[in-house]
Homo-oligomer: A and B are copies of this chain.
Amino acid sequence: MNVIAAKEANIKKAESLINEAAMAGSEIVVLPEMWNCPYSNDFFGQYSEVEGEATYEFLSKMAKSLNIYLVGGSIPEIDNGKVYNTSYSFDRNGKLIGKHRKIHLFDIDIEAGIRFMESETLTAGNQSTVINTEFGRIGIGICFDIRFPELFRKMTLAGAKLIILPGAFNMTTGPAHWELTIRARALDNQVYFAACSPARSMEGPYVAFGNSCISNPWGELCGKTDANESNVYADIDFEYVDKIRNQLPLLKARKPDVY
């Protein structure tokens, strides 16, 4: 989705896109990173909400009214004066079943490319997040978390067969690393990996790469869009995960005593 400065308009837009996805038959719906707030250190504090406030309430109601699982992208959360980049997940009854605070803050300074220091305003989470659903277990990460293979291995060993990652890569690292890293995490862990970005807009303070996509456990994209606003759909076959893991038994072949 396109994210703009007006929080209320972002919520309206999310409502419309979630409705569209549910009407198309989606049972698990995912929003992008920081979808109710411009992606900028200037806004995270101002847009932040305590858990349970308006945006949270909206997400819970949408999940319940549409009878879907809703992974609510991420929004700025404030707790005891600290601001986090937080993803809330809800079940079909609108009940919170997972909360992930971005563990790895986005601090980067590329020569002739992007500079961004999330740690100037945000506090990092310190826990890996795996949620339970009727389909199986799902790992949740946020954007820069994707850079760290250890985290996704941990989720996988905790039973995740699908990993969902709201993320807003940029115009330096997006073209170079977004699809490569998504496919590699899926392949190495033999999971589906769904990464959901805001659409690209040249008007905001941060130009997201877009290109939301889903990789299957063989490392092939099975759903993909471009930089423009649109829903992306994929069939997630948890039995195919088991099949791949039987044919190419990577997880059983690990040698944890060596590393």
A interface residue numbers (CB < 8 A to B): 103-105, 107-111, 113, 124, 126-128, 144, 147-151, 153-154, 173, 176-177, 180-181, 183-184, 187-188, 218-220, 243, 247-250, 253-259
The answer to whether B188 touches A147, judged by C-beta atoms less than 8 angstroms apart, is yes
Copies of this chain present? 2
The answer to whether B154 touches A259, judged by C-beta atoms less than 8 angstroms apart, is yes
The answer to whether B176 touches A180, judged by C-beta atoms less than 8 angstroms apart, is no
Among B103, B109, B110, B249, point to the contact of A255 (Cβ < 8 A). Answer: B103
**Given A104-B255, A126-B257: 10 more A-B contacts, CB < 8 Å:** A104-B253, A108-B248, A108-B249, A110-B247, A126-B255, A128-B259, A148-B255, A154-B259, A181-B187, A184-B188
Minimum CB–CB distance from A188 to chain B (whole Å) comes to: 6
Closest to A154 in B: B259
The answer to whether A176 touches B219, judged by C-beta atoms less than 8 angstroms apart, is yes
